[in-house]
Amino acid sequence: MKRQNKTLFIIPCCKAKAPGGQTPFSFSDPIQDLISQPPYRALLSARKLVLDKLRGDPKYVSEKYNKNSNIKDGPEFGTSRPIGEYLPAVERYIGNLYKGSPGLANRIKTHIANPNKPSVLILSALYGPLHPSALIQDYDLKMSDRPAYQSWKRNFPPFLVEYVQRSSIKEVRLYLGGSTAYLRVAKSAVRLLKEKKLVGRVIHYDVKNGNSYRTPSLHGRLALSHLEGRSDLDAEAGAVTTEL
């Protein structure tokens, strides 16, 4: 069913992740149903490129990045079968944005089942754009890390153009830290949307006096209130709303 005049929320992944998971008997990526096949294959190739770059640099598979040595070549990277341990993205991420605002992760899970509600994409350093229910493995990578930034700055814009067109998105809201590589990647994508006149508004919520706790926590509160169609006056007062 084609969606009309939708709003898209873009939120970041986070460093804190639930470990483990299960190997599913079958595998499907919800985002595959929201874009055409050539862009989806391009997305899989972009993910595999990031994974290959990660594996090619010893820094990103040892010491604090050691868990990356356990990432398997699953279907989310273009292979035929799942062989890793998976959790839905919205359950994998357990940082302050997702858990600091009570109910956000659960609200997203129930919300995405309603086609009349705003769409949600998670921007991941390893996976790029993710549907919240997409199955992903555990990993450790930031968008500012060498394997991720340039790849997604190049590959996220054409993906977002396709996604926005197919989903009839008319407004994009960014819940991303103002000084982060996540916002720089997202800006490169929404700039292209504006150039092509595909959306009417792009809104960024920056956090006043933000830090590693305050910024995701307040973004989580804002996203939750906006998903529920209500106001959180304290959270709104802590943010600077800018139209890009």
Encode pLDDT of 94-136 as tens digits.
Answer: 999 998 777 788 889 888 888 778 899 999 999 999 999 999 9
Rounded Cα gap, residues 42 and 167, in angstroms: 18
Q: What are phi and psi of 135, to 5 degrees?
A: -80, 125
Query: Whose CA is closest to 214, among 185, 178, 242, 241?
Result: 178
- 65 within a domain of the structure (yes/no): yes
Q: Are 140 and 173 in contact (CB under 8 A)?
A: no
Phi-psi region of 181 (alpha: psi -120 to 50; beta: other; left: phi over 0): alpha
Per the structure, how many domains does the chain have? 1
Domain membership flag for residue 163: yes
Bridge partners, 171 (sequence order): 7, 201
Q: How far apart are the first and last CA of the chain?
A: 30
Is 166 a domain residue? yes
- pLDDT attached to residue 25: 87
Per-residue pLDDT of the chain (244 residues; tens, 9 = 90+): 444 569 999 999 999 999 999 999 889 899 999 999 999 999 999 999 999 999 999 999 999 999 999 999 999 999 888 899 999 999 999 999 998 777 788 889 888 888 778 899 999 999 999 999 999 999 999 999 999 999 999 999 999 999 999 999 999 999 999 999 999 999 999 999 999 999 999 999 999 999 999 999 999 999 999 999 999 999 999 999 999 9
- The three-state secondary structure class of 212 is coil
Place of tokens 């899989």: 44
Domain contains 1: no
100's tokens: 């600091």
Instruction: Say how far apart CA 90 and CA 133 lie, in whole Å.
Output: 6
CA-to-CA dists, residue 16 to 42, 96, 156, 189, 232, angstroms: 28, 8, 23, 26, 25
Residue 217 domain-assigned (yes or no): yes
Query: Containing domain of residue 197, as a range?
Result: 6-243
Is residue 223 one of the residues assigned to a domain? yes
Strands 169-174 and 201-207: parallel
pLDDT number for residue 3 = 47
* The pLDDT value given to residue 196: 97
